[in-house]
Amino acid sequence: MDDFVCTLKAGAVTRVRFTDMKGLSEHLSSISSALFVADENSSYAIPENLSDRCLVLSSGEEHKNYDSLFKIIRKALGLKLSRSSRFVGVGGGVVSDMTAFASSVYMRGAKLTIVPSTLLSMVDASLGGKSAIDFDGVKNLVGTFYPADDVIIVPALLKTLPEGEFLSGLGEVIKHAFLTKDKSLYHFLLENKDGIMARDEETLGKMVELSLKVKKEYIEKDPEEKLGIRSALNLGHTFAHALESITNYEVKHGIAVAWGLEMALAMGVEMAVTPADLKESADGLLSLYGYDTSLRIEKDKVPIFRSYKEKDKKRDSSGVQFITLSGWGRYVKVVPDDNLIAKLVAKV
């Protein structure tokens, strides 16, 4: 595990560091003027002596709203934080997205540390500067681009993560494996299943590092998702978001992404864009880790796949685009026919 930096805009550098529980405790205790935000699942990671500077939110996406945001801002105000103070989010994607948003708007921007406590947030929310809250039922409607300058990865935090959460994060890791021409993450996943599933700290740290470095390639080229490069990271996500919506979010995000990856590559093969052996590599890796890609949905739900995409923040005027791959790390946007979507996702 090697520390590295990611530069998202002029003067805004994210330093990603790897440490253990002791190192985390020392690091958090060393911050002089800070507010620590966690949820019920992650607050244990914040040292006892910092508890008066700590806000513990209720867990869950349903709390990713302005009520929680206001709690963070009021706590910061109560602690008399200034814009040179630091907001520290310790938790999963909900905590880190909200803490980042609060930090970005408090006095027009305070400092920000993210300590992701789930595999999904380690490989996704921690890096890239997206902050948000949900609003009026729309996910991430209100937010900013505001990179943390400080991301602390503590693989030891994954020891107690429930299996479903772990597999959810792993779905995003597997997606990243196909988004780079360098197959090192792919081979690492093929060769280290035992260490990964046993939550070996060293193995997980290396895996997170490889996965974050794939994300880094895309976000550094297109920090605010304006050039159509960063959006390649949404490979599988149009399918995934629709599936999450149809199942009322009972299918966890990264598990939906794993399924969406399979659908996106199957779509690519059908459209003669994706080489069959690339899809077979994905099939192999997904089944090695036990993902069920055979899930199909009721026919009457198929229009949701189209409407979901139309609501998407990343929509543009050229129609409903899906991302697929034309090779390892070679993303391409396609506009599939509705009948093809139905053929891929619907029960026969």
221 binds a second copy (CB under 8 A): no
Among 48, 136, 277, 300, the residue binding a second copy under the rule CB under 8 A is 136
145 binds a second copy (CB under 8 A): yes
181 binds a second copy (CB under 8 A): no
Give CA–CA dist 146/83, Å, rounded.
14
Binders of a second copy: how many residues, by CB under 8 A? 32
Count Cα atoms within 13 angstroms, Cβ side, for 39. Answer: 21
CB of 308 to a second copy, least distance (A): 14
* 157: its two tokens: 């935090």
DSSP character at residue 180? -
Task: Give the type of residue at 296.
Answer: R
67 binds a second copy (CB under 8 A): no
Q: Which is nearer to a second copy, 53 or 75 (CB)?
A: 75
Cβ neighbours of residue 94 closer than 8 Å, sequence gap 6 or more: 39, 59, 60, 61, 63, 64
Window 247 to 306, contacts with a second copy (CB under 8 A): none
Give CA–CA dist 322/271, Å, rounded.
12
DSSP character at residue 58? P
CB of 187 to a second copy, least distance (A): 35
* 120: its two tokens: 């999904």
Measured from the Cβ of residue 213, the count of other Cβ atoms closer than 10 Å reads 19
Among 14, 43, 85, 104, the residue binding a second copy under the rule CB under 8 A is 104
135 binds a second copy (CB under 8 A): yes
228 binds a second copy (CB under 8 A): no
CB of 138 to a second copy, least distance (A): 7
Give CA–CA dist 336/326, Å, rounded.
15
Residues lying near a second copy in the complex (CB under 8 A) are found at 9-10, 66, 70, 73-74, 77, 82-84, 104-109, 130-132, 135-136, 138, 140-145, 224, 313, 315-316
